Amino acid sequence: MMEIVSGTVLRLADDASVQHVGDGAVVLLARSGQLYTCNGTTEAFLDKVDGARSLDQIVGLLCEEFEVDKDTLDEDMAALANDLVSEGILAAPGA
């Protein structure tokens, strides 16, 4: 599996869809029928994943939205991105 770094551009996997519900979101993977619930942070992250923005650009937007320290968010969002890629929710070019 490739390592997600600040310059990695992320997109939703082809069979993943995000639906906003209440104070969070759910992600459905069509190929497996698997359903994932997301907290507000993951929902905000996924809202900014568009296939054009790099992880660093997404973190920058989240820093503005949540007024959080960028260094802390860099680590947390890289870990989240890796988790979402390993679950098949996100894809990166070449992945």
Residue-wise pLDDT for 53-71, tens only, equals 999 999 999 999 988 889 9
The domain made up of 11-88 has a fold known as Arc Repressor Mutant, subunit A (1.10.10)
**Residue 83 neighbours by CB under 8 Å, 6+ apart:** none
Cα 23 to Cα 88: distance, rounded to the nearest angstrom: 23
Contact 9, 22 (CB under 8 A): no
pTM: 0.91
Round to whole Å and give the CA distance between 67 and 51: 24
Q: Mean of the per-residue pLDDT values for the chain?
A: 92
Cβ atoms 16, 89 nearer than 8 A = yes
